[in-house]
Amino acid sequence: MTAAGRRRLPPHPDAGPVTAVGAQVTRNGLRILDLCCGAGGAAMGYWLAGFEVTGVDIAPQPRYPFPFVHADALTFPLDGFDAVHASPPCQVWTMAQRIRRNDHPDLIAPLRDRLATAGLPFVIENVPGAPLRDPLTLCGAMWAGLAVYRHREFEVSFPLTPPTHPAHRARLAKMGRPPRPGEFMHVVGNFSGAAQARQAMGIGWMTRDELREAIPPAYTRHVGHALAAHLTAAGGRSAVAG
Ligand SMILES: C[S@@+](CC[C@H](N)C(=O)[O-])C[C@H]1O[C@@H](n2cnc3c(N)ncnc32)[C@H](O)[C@@H]1O
């Protein structure tokens, strides 16, 4: 590994308490493209795992903490990246949406086709109920310091072992009031307590609306370490750099 690869950086100034405190950020020389990036919850996890991150979203994202391109994920060029993460909109797969039968486009299938054709390692993240292939579930209870359960599913094209899934022992705060000490919270819909949600998710920089869409960076930090190991074993950029 190069000197740059060994370089340790301080935590990103925007990283939340769970993701930043004690995090040892070592750059790995790998570049990941973050499609449908929102305000960067997934992005921060990859950055903490050592990746350089570029985000793409169809909507402006003024608080995205890394280089950002305002563009369509279905056409943005994939050249120059070692791997791709995609978090397509999940509204189409949520229970409330199924009941209302509103019309949101499904981006999962076209994005999977693009990524598989490109031949790059990829991650597609979405809510339970979305049509992912053999997904793994990650839960906030897997990381000490988070206070959300927030199950999210990950379809990955490389080996990934999830942490042990502990029982949900903490009580969930009722919707409509901020959580009391020791309670976990839902960060969905018209939730109360944006400040508590930032702590609960380990995200220090997002607005209430952005938090509702985001995943805790701890999830993708875990995925990112497995992805970097896979790329290195496969002779990816970090291995070449060494
Ligand atoms: C669930 S949010 C992503 C949240 C993000 N992964 C995080 O952890 O903060 C989905 C995002 O997809 C974006 N989006 C929807 N259609 C898109 C498209 N065709 N191209 C790029 N982004 C798109 C939305 O604007 C939204 O920001």
Pairing relationship of beta strands 68-70 and 52-57 according to DSSP bridges: parallel
Residue 15 has a pLDDT of 53
Q: Return d(Cα 149, Cα 160) in angstroms, integer.
A: 20
Q: What is the best residue among 33, 54, 57, 90 to mutate for testing ligand 1's pocket, by most ligand atoms within 8 Å of CB?
A: 57
Beta strands in 42-179 (DSSP E): 52-57, 68-70, 83-86, 122-126, 136-138, 152-156
Cα-flanking dihedrals φ and ψ of residue 209, to 5°?
-65, -35
- Arithmetic mean of pLDDT, 49-62: 97
Q: Yes or no: say if 4 and 24 are a contact pair by the CB < 8 Å rule.
A: no
Distance 131 CA to ligand 1 centre (A): 17
Q: What is the mean pLDDT of the chain?
A: 87
Hey, is 83 helix, strand or coil?
Answer: strand
Q: Which residue has the higher pLDDT, 235 or 167?
A: 167
Model confidence at 1, pLDDT cuts 50, 70, 90, reads very low
What's the pTM value of the predicted model, to 2 decimals?
Answer: 0.89
Confidence check: pLDDT of 104 > 90: no
Locate tokens 């925007």: which residue? 14
pLDDT given for residue 176 in this prediction: 85
Question: Is the per-residue pLDDT at 173 higher than 90?
Answer: yes
Lookup: tokens for 94 = 């949520």
In 3D, which of 157, 77, 78, 155 has the Cα closest to residue 121? 157
3-state SS assignment for residue 132: coil
Tell me how far the alpha carbon of residue 167 lies from the centroid of ligand 1, in angstroms: 30
pLDDT higher at 7 or 204 = 204
Domain extents for the chain? 16-161+216-241
Position 25 pLDDT exceeds 60: yes
| Residue 105: predicted pLDDT | 72
| Count of other CB atoms within 10 angstroms of residue 136 | 14
Q: What is the pLDDT of residue 106?
A: 87
- Give 16-161+216-241's CATH code, choosing from 3.40.50.620, 3.30.2130.10, 3.40.50.150, 3.30.1510.10: 3.40.50.150
Q: What is the Å distance from ligand 1's center to 34 Cα?
A: 9
Our answer on whether the CB atom of 36 is closer than 6 Å to any ligand 1 atom is yes
Residue 177's nearest CA partner among 165, 167, 168, 190 is 190
User: Is the Cβ atom of 38 under 6 angstroms away from ligand 1?
Assistant: yes
User: Looking at residue 101, what is its pLDDT?
Assistant: 55
